[in-house]
């Protein structure tokens, strides 16, 4: 929902994408969780403040394993391989315009098996119940200290399945 192409890894650049996503959501769904890797931009106080101010839960990968952030890795891979790699891009301005177009196409024209073959736009704005059509091959970890580690592992696909 939010995207921003930057030439740096500054939190201010990442905040632009987060603010875009929040603005497009109109209302932030209760229980929404923002999942990211452990990049410094996502750990910055400014970024965390915006998430908390909007009632968005925070989840981060534990080991830097791409499987822990599979949804983001998949989206980024599709946008790069199916859209950006096929277009001639020579400047940052062209890259920004191409990214804008790629995200639009990804969200409005591409049905996804993982969301009942709806487009992301349809899934975000529709009232239909979305049926999970994918499998999770990533094993849940066991607690290191069962007394301290009372919360279950954050595994978005498993958590979604429990709520369906």
For the stretch 58-72, pLDDT in tens is 888 887 777 777 777
Q: For the residues 130-148, what does the mean pLDDT come to?
A: 61
Which one has a higher pLDDT value, 61 or 132? Answer: 61
Residues 137 and 95 in one domain: yes
Residues 126 and 148 in one domain: yes
pTM above 0.75, yes or no: no
Instruction: Say how many domains are in the chain.
Output: 2
For residue 33, the SS3 value is strand
Which one has a higher pLDDT value, 144 or 50? Answer: 50
Which residue segment(s) compose the domain that 116 sits in?
62-164
Residues 78 and 154 in one domain: yes
Rounded CA gap, 151 and 134, in Å? Answer: 24
Cβ atoms of residues 107 and 83 within 8 Å: no
Residues 14 and 90 in one domain: no
Residues 95 and 157 in one domain: yes
Return the structure tokens found at 113: 């098996």
β-bridge mates for residue 59, sequence order: 35
Residues 82 and 41 in one domain: no
What are 72-105's pLDDT values in tens digits? 788 888 888 888 888 888 999 998 999 889 888 8
């Amino acid at each position: 929902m939010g995207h921003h192409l930057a030439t740096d890894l500054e939190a201010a650049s990442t905040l632009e994408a987060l603010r875009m996503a929040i603005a497009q959501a109109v209302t932030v769904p209760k229980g929404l969780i923002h999942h990211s890797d452990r990049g410094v931009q996502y750990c910055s106080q400014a970024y965390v403040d915006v998430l908390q101010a909007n009632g968005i839960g925070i989840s981060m990968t534990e080991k830097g394993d791409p499987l822990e952030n599979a949804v983001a890795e998949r989206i980024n891979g599709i946008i790069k391989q199916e859209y950006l790699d096929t277009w001639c891009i020579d400047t940052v301005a062209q890259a920004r315009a191409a990214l804008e177009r790629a995200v639009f196409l990804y969200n409005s024209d591409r049905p996804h098996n993982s969301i009942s073959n709806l487009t992301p736009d349809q899934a975000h704005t529709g009232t239909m119940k979305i049926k999970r059509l994918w499998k999770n091959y990533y094993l849940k970890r066991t607690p290191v200290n069962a007394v301290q580690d009372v919360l279950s592992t954050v595994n978005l696909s498993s958590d979604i399945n429990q709520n369906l």
